[in-house]
Every structure is written in structure tokens, then in C-alpha cells.
């Protein structure tokens, strides 16, 4: 069920099986385990502790993580994209009448995201939302609001590692079942950013598409070789 990559246990079965796996938890942090996020955990004690605790699970979201699983000789069954897991959780929440809370991105994008979700999932309970521009050390009003609304899933879109830091810091204080950092997923759902064509996604080339659309991302790609070097050295 898991592949050991460095000191991390990375989920190695199908997305379908993963959706069944997470149902057994009363509280769970789903970590989109691309090299950038996993590297941040190696360099931050609080993140590392959270990423490796029993109620956190890392999904292989990124071609670098898939390659790493091959290097260690226990290949993951498939790349599991965070945005696809988010969508599956949203479908589940609509079906079972469970609420969600959206935290992150700028206000305009957040509102577009909410409007599009309401159109696509008319029965979905979006209990509340807040933009991602706030002090991580002084956000108790936001936490209080989330606790009053008591969502099943809390999606945090503030980019790595800010979103993971927020979850790691406040997960125990927030009454939600699923916690998930979702990066730019709100932007995609708002219609402001498009995902790569399906053929590129299936070939593991979504990163190339995103760099082509947003050249500034190329600097972030350096996390992949750095991560893979560590994997090779520690296999």
C-alpha cells in the first residue's frame, strides 16, 4: 500500500483505492507529495512531523515522485493528482450532504471558484470561505469560523509550503475530517488556469504544459533533481 521514499511513506495504489482508504480516518491530512512539497518537509521540523504522522497520507502527485518510486524499486501504481482527489472528495460531499470550506487564493478568484462549483455541483454545501491573505500566526477568527461551520473537508490553496504549514499548525484545533493543501486548484476551478490536455497528463508532462503557460514556474522545477539525488543517495 505504501512505497518508502527517503523517510516518507507514499501511497502506491490506485486513486480509486485511495478514496476508500481515507474513509477510515476521523481526521486526515492529504499531502500532495510532489518533490517541492516533500523537500519542504525535509527542511522543516514541524512539517516533517506532520507528514510522517499516522493521520497524514502522502499521494504521488508529481512525475518526480513517480520516478523516485522506480528508483527505490517499488513503483507506485499511478500518479495521483491532488486536484483530482479534491474533485472526488467534492463529489462525495455532494452525494453524502457533507460540507466543505475553501481557504486561500485572492478574493476574486475564490468567488469565481465558488460560483463554478455551485453550477457544477448544485447540491454541494459550501459552508464558508476566506482568502489566503492573512497572518498565519494571528488567524484565530478564521479558525473559530471554520469550527462553528464544522466542515467535513477543508481545502487550503495558498501554495507550498504555506498551506502545509497552516494545516500542520492548526489541524488539531480545527473540527474537520479532511485537510488538504490544493495549490492552484482554486485557480483551475475558477476557470483562470487550464490543466494540460489529457494526453500530456497521462504521459506525465503536465509540468511541461504549466511551465509553458507560466514560465516563472521553471525555477521551482529545480526541486525535482534535488529530490531525486537525495533518493539515489539514500536508496
Residue 156: what pLDDT?
A: 98
Residue 197: what pLDDT?
A: 83
What is the CB neighbour count within 10 angstroms for residue 79? Answer: 20
Residue 196: what pLDDT?
A: 73
| Cell reading at 26 | 476521523
**Which residues face 125 on adjacent strands?**
99
Residue 150: what pLDDT?
A: 98
Spatial distance between the Cα atoms of 80 and 14, rounded to a whole number of angstroms = 8
Residue 44: what pLDDT?
A: 96
For the entire predicted model, the pTM comes to 0.94
Residue 206: what pLDDT?
A: 74
Spatial distance between the Cα atoms of 230 and 68, rounded to a whole number of angstroms = 10
CA distances 77 to 4, 11, 80, 88, 186, Å, are: 14, 9, 9, 18, 27
Please tell me the total count of domains within the chain. Answer: 1
Q: Which residue has the cell 485537510?
A: 179
Nearest to 230 by CA among 57, 38, 86: 38
C-beta of residue 118 within 8 angstroms of C-beta of residue 99: no
**Mind listing the pLDDT tens digit for each residue in 72-95?**
999 999 999 999 999 999 999 999
Which structural domain range is residue 140 located in? Answer: 2-234
Spatial distance between the Cα atoms of 134 and 158, rounded to a whole number of angstroms = 10
Residue 215: what pLDDT?
A: 73
Q: Which residues of the chain have pLDDT under 70?
A: 203, 207-209, 211, 214, 216-220
Amino acid at each position: 500500500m505504501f512505497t518508502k521514499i527517503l523517510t516518507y511513506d507514499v501511497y502506491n495504489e490506485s486513486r480509486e483505492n485511495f478514496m476508500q482508504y481515507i474513509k477510515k480516518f476521523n481526521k486526515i491530512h492529504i499531502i500532495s507529495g510532489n518533490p517541492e512539497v516533500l523537500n519542504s518537509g525535509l527542511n522543516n521540523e514541524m512539517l516533517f512531523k506532520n507528514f510522517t504522522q499516522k493521520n497524514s497520507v502522502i499521494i504521488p502527485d508529481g512525475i518526480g515522485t513517480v520516478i523516485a518510486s522506480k528508483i527505490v524499486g517499488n513503483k507506485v501504481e499511478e500518479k495521483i493528482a491532488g486536484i483530482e482527489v479534491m474533485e472526488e472528495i467534492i463529489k462525495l460531499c455532494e452525494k453524502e450532504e457533507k460540507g466543505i470550506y475553501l481557504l486561500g487564493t485572492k478574493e476574486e478568484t475564490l468567488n469565481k471558484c465558488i460560483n463554478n462549483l455551485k453550477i457544477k455541483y448544485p447540491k454541494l454545501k459550501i459552508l464558508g470561505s476566506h482568502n489566503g491573505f492573512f497572518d498565519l500566526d494571528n488567524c484565530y477568527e478564521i479558525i473559530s469560523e471554520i469550527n462553528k461551520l464544522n466542515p467535513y473537508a477543508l481545502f487550503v490553496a495558498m501554495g507550498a509550503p504555506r498551506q502545509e504549514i497552516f494545516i500542520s499548525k492548526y489541524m488539531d484545533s480545527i473540527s474537520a475530517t479532511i485537510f488538504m493543501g490544493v495549490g492552484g486548484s482554486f485557480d483551475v476551478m475558477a476557470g483562470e488556469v487550464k490543466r494540460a490536455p489529457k494526453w500530456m497528463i497521462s504521459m506525465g508532462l503536465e509540468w511541461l504544459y504549466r511551465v509553458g503557460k507560466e514560465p516563472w514556474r521553471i525555477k521551482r522545477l529545480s526541486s525535482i533533481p534535488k529530490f531525486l539525488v537525495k533518493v539515489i543517495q539514500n536508496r
